[in-house]
């Protein structure tokens, strides 16, 4: 045996043990997730519908909606937010120096006039150019500011917010009517809750009318279709599984509810981070633990936020690249939490998981696609063993996606027809033959751009929501 | 015979109100949502509209505002069907030009009485 | 894969087969689950559709209960129960009392008794909810024990149902459960108590005066405020002056603000010196709600404070205290504008916002 064959063989062994370890971990998470889903179902099915909106004792919520070049969808989004049922909300749209007519569209549609508004929780941010409101829409405030990125825009929103809770949403997402009254519940059950997140679903392919999803459908576009299963998996298995452990590190930037005071105390969103949504949640975990305060970060599965996902591989690639850079950025900033018992599940389980599985996963997986055939070609392992390994890895990928589809079937069953169900299964199989590798590649590229020091945002082009026929 | 349009997405409520009103000598037309309700007003020109607040496609207030914006329907009597305990909704309804309101859960006889009074 | 001994390979192969079988089972189970649930829904819908017209006629008083029962096949009893409950929930008490004999005759009451004795809390809660819609006041004796149930959902459903049935002597029991540490539970119980209206006031007053430090006192105060229970205002003064919890004192301020009684102003002015800013802020809001200008001198003092929320609430309160105070406030604003060079202070900006939120066309504030 030569030295290089020892290296190749050793590396193959590493890949194999990594594979076993990660998959065992996934099985545990999936089981945890199923248990959590079933308990949750008992509540949603048997508890009489919540009538929180009548009591007048629920905490008011500021809905913060940063917008950058969203002229196509912004009005529909504001309308959709005003349809959300909750006793007291204020909608703050933050126009982050858009180059298109976002501000003008809002001013014209809602008859906005310039107003004075004093920041009562001053955070540092780029200058505000003006604030606008309308006597006809007393809950709406539009802020025009110098471009500074999403985190900076959210900080403006927090500064101007007058409510004890704020909900950060993307300007391209629609909230389900009962989303807020459900996502607020952890705050009522446990006053120490600092953040909660909800389920994000893909709106592509659904019929939208007047700011509401009126018919759930599947998109024709394959890239979007893959993402549907991917989102189901991420939310049912990922978030649901992490939730009971107390190590939930991600609340999607598209829909999360936070205690305004707690976020203002830790300094708001970090403008220098590309993954500001995850960074904030991790920082909350860290600071609360360091101050020795009891706290909770929770995920609630049924408040639904519908979001538009990219339909071209180019845009999707940029998005994933950015997500991965954001992940790396957060993990490196907070590397001090890794394996420290003080941070409980966040430091002992979630941080190691993100390093091992989310960051290095694609590196190991993609290198395996190259090195195992090389080893086989060199005659170090036989082709049959390679095929078995490949089959195992693909079958496991399918298993996770099928579990997510099963979880969906047992719980909310949004995709009503058999055709849609079969399509989801088809995607669960197909995504392992190409899509999975492609996302791995984008993540790898993300690591590369991160190391090179790139911090740009990928731009997303919007086509506007499809109208109901 | 006076014509009443009921715009209500719940078929059970619509059915009962329809039976009761028909027995009291009204012609009843039913529209299942706000959009259809608006179209039915223009097509059938009813003498009174019973309008539910929480409906898909277009809620009751939107329908009411659209009606009031058209001069020929500015005086059309509209009775809103609102959910219990929503004081704000009732005020909102009157501001937009509702004639009267009935709070759910209601008694069918009460609806008939209010329709009769509004048409007198 | 490092050692490709036959044993390791065999194990891996076995894993492949078992994974494949597991996958097939999961897919088959999902499809079967979908098939069965859709079939069940469809079946129930067909059975209900057949009953729908007859039930509508019964509810609209076109048929009487006796005729309805004669035409109802025994096999349809449970479907009829579901359908009648839906109608009962949508229409008022007259309809319910009309349906009560039908529930009795079709055995729905008996079935529901069994539900309320179930070991599963959600079945007990469901049973309690159904009893409330069945319109038979005699069932309140089955509901009363459920008010002491260990599960809040059951207690709440029982309370709401008793309310629907018009019974009131149970409110005391329910008020006691406001001490539950879960705010969500207390909010939902509060909802039921609010529905009971003025009859609940004595129980709430007793609850507050018996244990002013207890958990549920904040909620009890909120409810009294929501009900505008003017008679309760002397009791609210107690927790405001003696409670060690800032939350309770703030809740007392909110309640006084809603009651708008004359003695409330005096109490709220004394709360302006509270050590907790939350209490001061709530007292200011309450004073703004009442809008009595005699409180203005005390409120003006707080404009000089540090906490932005106190300043903001003080300015808002003053702006709501009538034309005279408004003039004084404008005067103060002009003086500050004249003396401040450069960027305006927080107080000046707050005053500007409160006095004229909408700026003239073309004038925009820059921060």
**Cross-chain residue pair C86–B109, CB shorter than 8 Å:** no
- Provide mean pLDDT across the span A302-315: 92
B56, B57, B85 member nearest A54 (Cβ)? B85
Residues of chain B contacting A57 with CB distance shorter than 8 Å: none
Q: Which two tokens stand for residue C263?
A: 């003695």
A118, A395, A409 member nearest C19 (Cβ)? A395
- A114 occurs within a structural domain: no
Q: What values do phi and psi take at A145, rounded to 5?
A: -140, 165
Which of C3, C246, C282, C367 best tests the A interface by mutation, with the highest count of A CBs <10 A? C367
**Cross-chain residue pair B12–C94, CB shorter than 8 Å:** no
Residue-range domains of chain B with CATH:
3-107 (3.40.50.2300)
Name the burial class of residue B78, with classes exposed (0-12), middle (13-18) and buried (19+) by CB atoms within 10 angstroms of its CB.
buried
B57, B85, B86 member nearest A209 (Cβ)? B57
Residues of chain C contacting B15 with CB distance shorter than 8 Å: 56, 60
B116 touches A: beta carbon within 8 Å: no
Q: Report whether B56 contacts B36 (CB < 8 A).
A: no
pLDDT at C366 over 60: no
CA distance A423 to chain B (A): 28
CA distance C64 to chain A (A): 31
CA distance B13 to chain C (A): 7
**Cross-chain residue pair C95–B107, CB shorter than 8 Å:** yes
B20, B105, B108 member nearest C89 (Cβ)? B105
Say which range, A141-150, A195-204, B8-17, B84-93, has the weakest mean pLDDT: B84-93
pLDDT of residue B57: 67
pLDDT of residue A52: 57
- A132 occurs within a structural domain: no
- A10 occurs within a structural domain: yes
C82 touches B: beta carbon within 8 Å: no
Nearest-5° Cα angle at A293, C187 to C220: 20
**Cross-chain residue pair A212–B86, CB shorter than 8 Å:** no
How confident is the model over C62-75, as pLDDT tens digits? 888 889 999 898 88
CA distance C188 to chain B (A): 14
**Cross-chain residue pair B86–A54, CB shorter than 8 Å:** yes
Q: Count CB neighbours of A263 within 10 A.
A: 25
pLDDT at C362 over 70: no
Say which range, A136-145, A424-433, B45-54, C203-212, has the weakest mean pLDDT: C203-212
A310 CB-side CA count, 13 A = 13
Q: In what order do the strands lie in the sheet with B3-7?
A: B27-31, B3-7, B48-52, B78-82, B100-103
- A149 occurs within a structural domain: no
- Within C106-231, where are the H helices? 108-116, 121-133, 140-143, 152-164, 171-176, 183-196, 201-210, 217-226
Q: What is the DSSP string of A86-117?
A: -SSEEEEEEEES-SSSHHHHHHHHHT-EEE--
Q: Is the peptide bond before B105 cis (omega within 30 degrees of 0)?
A: yes
C-alpha torsion B17→B18→B20→B26, nearest 10: 120
Chains in touch with A (≥3 Cβ pairs < 8 A): B, C
Band (pLDDT 50/70/90 cuts) for residue A462 is very low
pLDDT at C363 over 80: no
Q: Which two tokens stand for residue B94?
A: 């009157």
Q: What is the DSSP string of A429-444?
A: HHTTTTHHHHHHHHHH
Task: Give this complex's ipTM.
Answer: 0.88
Q: Which of residues 192-211 of A touch B (CB under 8 A)?
A: 209-210
- Provide mean pLDDT across the span A259-288: 94
CA A351/CA A289 separation, integer angstroms: 15
CA distance C140 to chain B (A): 21
- Block means of pLDDT (10 residues each) for chain B, 120 residues, are 92 92 93 90 94 79 88 91 69 84 87 92
Band (pLDDT 50/70/90 cuts) for residue A54 is low
**Cross-chain residue pair C94–B109, CB shorter than 8 Å:** yes
C-alpha torsion C302→C307→C309→C313, nearest 10: 0
Rg (chain B; Cα; Å): 13
pLDDT at A458 over 70: no
pLDDT at A314 over 80: yes
Residues of chain A contacting B58 with CB distance shorter than 8 Å: 210
- A464 occurs within a structural domain: yes
C333 touches B: beta carbon within 8 Å: no
Band (pLDDT 50/70/90 cuts) for residue A339 is very high
Mean pLDDT, chain A, rounded, equals 88
Q: Report whether C173 contacts C192 (CB < 8 A).
A: no
In terms of residue numbers, what domain contains A280? 1-60+191-469
C16, C309, C312 member nearest A392 (Cβ)? C16
Q: For residue A61, give the 3-state DSSP assignment.
A: strand
**Cross-chain residue pair A214–B86, CB shorter than 8 Å:** no
- How many structural domains comprise chain A? 1
- A406 occurs within a structural domain: yes
Band (pLDDT 50/70/90 cuts) for residue A49 is low
């Amino acid at each position: 045996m030569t030295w290089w064959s020892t290296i190749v063989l050793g590396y193959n062994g590493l890949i194999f043990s990594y594979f076993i370890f990660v998959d065992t971990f996934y099985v545990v998470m999936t089981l945890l997730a199923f248990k959590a889903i079933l308990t949750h179902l008992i509540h949603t099915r048997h508890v009489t519908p919540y009538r929180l909106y009548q009591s007048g004792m629920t905490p008011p919520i500021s809905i913060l909606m940063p917008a950058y070049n969203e002229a196509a969808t912004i009005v529909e989004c504001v309308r959709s937010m005003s349809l959300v049922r909750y006793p007291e909300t204020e909608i703050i749209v933050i126009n982050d120096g858009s180059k298109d007519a976002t501000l003008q569209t809002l001013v014209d549609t809602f008859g906005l006039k310039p107003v004075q508004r004093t920041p009562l929780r001053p955070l540092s941010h780029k200058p505000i150019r003006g604030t606008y409101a309308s006597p006809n829409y007393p809950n709406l405030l539009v802020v025009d500011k110098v471009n500074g990125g999403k985190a900076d825009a959210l900080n403006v929103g927090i500064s101007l917010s007058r409510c004890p809770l704020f909900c950060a949403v993307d300007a391209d997402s629609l909230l389900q009517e009962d989303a807020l009254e459900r996502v607020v519940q952890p705050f009522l059950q446990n006053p120490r809750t600092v953040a909660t997140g909800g389920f994000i679903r893909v709106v592509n392919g659904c019929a939208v009318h007047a700011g509401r999803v009126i018919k759930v459908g599947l998109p024709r576009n394959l890239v979007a279709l893959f993402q549907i299963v991917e989102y189901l998996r991420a939310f049912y298995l990922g978030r649901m599984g992490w939730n009971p452990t107390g190590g939930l590190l991600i609340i999607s930037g598209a829909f999360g509810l936070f205690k305004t005071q707690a976020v203002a105390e830790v300094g708001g969103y970090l403008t220098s981070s590309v993954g500001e949504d995850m960074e904030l949640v991790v920082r909350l975990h860290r600071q609360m633990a360091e101050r020795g305060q009891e706290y909770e970060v929770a995920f609630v599965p049924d408040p639904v936020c519908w979001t538009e996902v990219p339909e071209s591989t180019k845009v999707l690639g940029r998005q994933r690249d950015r997500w991965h850079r954001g992940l790396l950025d957060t993990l490196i900033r907070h590397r001090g939490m890794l394996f420290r018992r003080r941070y409980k599940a966040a430091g002992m389980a979630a941080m190691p998981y993100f390093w091992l599985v989310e960051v290095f996963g694609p590196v190991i997986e993609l290198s395996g696609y190259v090195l195992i055939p090389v080893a086989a070609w060199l005659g170090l392992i036989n082709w049959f063993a390679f095929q078995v390994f490949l089959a195992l890895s693909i079958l496991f990928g399918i298993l996770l996606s099928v579990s997510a589809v099963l979880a969906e079937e047992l719980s909310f069953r949004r995709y009503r027809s058999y055709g849609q169900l079969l399509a989801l299964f088809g995607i669960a199989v197909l995504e392992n033959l190409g899509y999975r590798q492609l996302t791995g590649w984008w993540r790898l590229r993300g690591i590369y751009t991160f190391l090179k020091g790139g911090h740009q945002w990928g731009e997303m082009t919007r086509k506007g929501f499809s109208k109901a026929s | 015979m006076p014509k009443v349009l009921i715009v209500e997405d719940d078929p059970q409520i619509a059915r009962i109100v329809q039976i009761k009103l028909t027995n009291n000598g009204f012609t009843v037309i039913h529209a299942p949502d706000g959009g259809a309700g608006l179209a039915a007003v223009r097509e059938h020109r009813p003498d009174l509209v019973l309008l539910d607040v929480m409906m898909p496609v277009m809620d009751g207030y939107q329908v009411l505002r659209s009606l009031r914006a058209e001069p020929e329907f500015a005086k059309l009597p509209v009775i809103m069907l609102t959910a219990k305990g929503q004081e704000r909704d009732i005020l909102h309804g009157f501001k937009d030009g509702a004639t009267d309101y009935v709070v759910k859960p209601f008694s069918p006889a009460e609806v008939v009485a209010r329709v009769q009074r509004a048409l007198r | 894969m490092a050692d490709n001994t036959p044993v390791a390979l065999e194990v891996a192969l076995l894993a492949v087969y078992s994974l494949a079988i597991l996958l097939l089972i999961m897919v088959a189970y999902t499809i079967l689950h979908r098939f069965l649930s859709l079939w069940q829904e469809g079946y129930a819908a067909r059975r209900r559709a057949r009953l729908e017209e007859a039930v509508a006629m019964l509810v609209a008083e076109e048929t009487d209960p006796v005729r309805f029962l004669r035409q109802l096949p025994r096999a349809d009893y449970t479907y009829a129960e579901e359908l009648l409950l839906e109608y009962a929930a949508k229409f008022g008490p007259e309809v319910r009392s009309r349906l009560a004999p039908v529930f009795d005759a079709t055995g729905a009451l008996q079935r529901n008794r069994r539900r309320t004795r179930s070991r599963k809390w959600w079945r007990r809660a469901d049973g309690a909810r159904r009893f409330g819609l069945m319109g038979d006041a005699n069932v309140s004796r089955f509901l009363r024990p459920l008010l002491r149930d260990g599960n809040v959902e059951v207690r709440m459903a029982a309370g709401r149902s008793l309310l629907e049935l018009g019974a009131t002597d149970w409110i005391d029991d329910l008020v006691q459960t406001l001490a539950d540490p879960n705010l969500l539970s207390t909010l939902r119980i509060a909802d039921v108590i609010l529905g009971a209206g003025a009859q609940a006031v004595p129980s709430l007053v007793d609850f507050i005066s018996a244990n002013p430090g207890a958990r549920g006192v904040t909620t009890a105060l909120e409810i009294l405020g929501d009900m505008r229970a003017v008679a309760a205002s002397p009791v609210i003064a107690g927790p405001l002056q003696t409670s060690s919890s800032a939350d309770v004192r703030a809740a007392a301020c909110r309640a006084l603000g809603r009651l708008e009684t004359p003695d409330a102003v005096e109490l709220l002015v004394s709360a302006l010196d509270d050590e907790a800013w939350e209490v001061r802020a709530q007292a200011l809001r309450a004073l703004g709600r009442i809008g009595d200008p005699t409180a203005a001198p005390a409120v003006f003092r707080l404009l000089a404070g540090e906490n932005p929320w106190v300043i903001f609430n003080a300015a808002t309160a003053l702006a709501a205290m009538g034309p005279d105070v408004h003039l004084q406030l404008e005067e103060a604003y002009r003086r500050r504008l004249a003396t401040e060079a450069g960027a305006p202070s927080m107080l000046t900006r707050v005053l500007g916002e409160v006095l004229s939120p909408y700026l003239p066309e073309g004038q925009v504030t820059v921060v």
